[in-house]
A and B are shown apart, each in its own frame.
Chain A
Amino acid sequence: MDKIKTYLKRFGAIMAQPVIATILGLLVGAVFIIASDENPIEIYQTMFSRSFLSPYYLSQTLTRATPIIICGIATAAAWRAGYINIGVEGQMITGSFAATLAAIYIPLPGPLLLIVSILLGMLAGSIYASIVSVLNMKFGSSIVICTLMLNYVANYIASYLVSYPFMDPYGDGISLVTQTIPESVQFVKLSTTNNLSIGIIIAAIVVIAFYFMERKTVFGYESKMTGFNPNFAKYGGVFERKVMLKTLALSGAIAALAGICEIYGSKYRYTDNMFTSASFAWTGLMAALISNLHPIGIFFTSIFLSGLQVGGQAIQRTSSIPIQMATVIQSSITLFVSAKLGVQFFSKWRKQKKQEPAKPQESKGGAETV
């Protein structure tokens, strides 16, 4: 009985933070909604019923969450080892572009082509990430700066390739897209009305696999140690450079998988700027940071964040609130969740209340106004 009680208490403590943060975020958002002459309760009702609470929109949210979850894991893979990889976007573009081209141009039978093209894509992503480790080992260049800058390199190279050599001149020939990938490699769909595919299952598998790798394997332990204290890890016999190479390559491969799931699962072709404009990688990074790099946390945070985006679109569509305002509402919720202000503010306030009974009148007055 006691065990259950402590368990519930712990669960409550974990959940309190995001819930309070969300409520604070909603309150701030309400100010903006009132400023645009709408009823906040109605707006929030649309926002949540059209992102989480009905099956159609939930599957839309999950579709959008798929690449975000995997990007979050890719970020966590590198960050927990102390390598600040903010180049997930670039690795995602390189990897998925390579996989798309492989799927279009390599003549292989269906299932084999699926596996080969995905592996090639992941290889491309990990090689792209490894450029950074090589630069760091040879010249001591900063991993943060290199990974960030290589995002632009990847996006502009892909942009050139999709504008000229690999452009599909269908229609009137002005769309910057590659050909569609053959039907045999497209992911099986889980829904008839929208794009939810087995990509979400792949994302879940990645989360679980990463969870076990982190806790049960030598590599997972070594990279975690390096993250906690590189000197200690070195002293304990961890070969740091090897860990860096492996970690960044793994991160790049997972990032590539994120892009592949988006293309194979819902878009079926590479479109210019498709990952940068949707900023999957950055949302994934945010999810990873909010949940302290914990894989299960990343899974749910990503779904929450993508739900906010889907709900934001619904607000713009169905009310007079302009898209910019919808983004402000989205961001204010995200801000509170990510700033972890909620709990700290709340506990500080409670502490103060406990300390203050010496001056009963003032604190009472304070409590009433709050």
Chain B
Amino acid sequence: MSDDYAKAIPIPGPESVPFWEGAKNHKLMIQKCSDCGHHWFPPSTVCTGCGSRNIEWVASSGKGKIFSFVVFHRLYHKGWDGEIPYAVAVIELEEGARMLSNVIGIPVEEVKCDMAVDVVFEDATDTLTLPKFKPV
């Protein structure tokens, strides 16, 4: 935790508050349809599988795999100065939902599609926790 956090601070939309509150408590919250069982992310107000409005927030196991990834070699934001190269990935959680995050704890050269990963929670500031992913 740091007062001089230089990276972008997300501005949650009204539907995303449970996700960010969950992250602060080190839970990876995603949405689930109470009718068809479909899981999805990012948040919406209807099931993206069947259209039902009978939906709930649930904690994901945090286990998944890297669906795809890129490695940033160019600085687009001063907050990442000194961290180039870094990996940004689309993570497919075992519940089926996909989300954007970083792959950490491994050299970028070793990141591969379909690699098994597990969530880790990075407390970025006193009020912001980011779910990131580490190879299992």
Bind each other? no
User: Which B residues fall within an 8 A CB radius of A?
Assistant: none
User: Which A residues fall within an 8 A CB radius of B?
Assistant: none
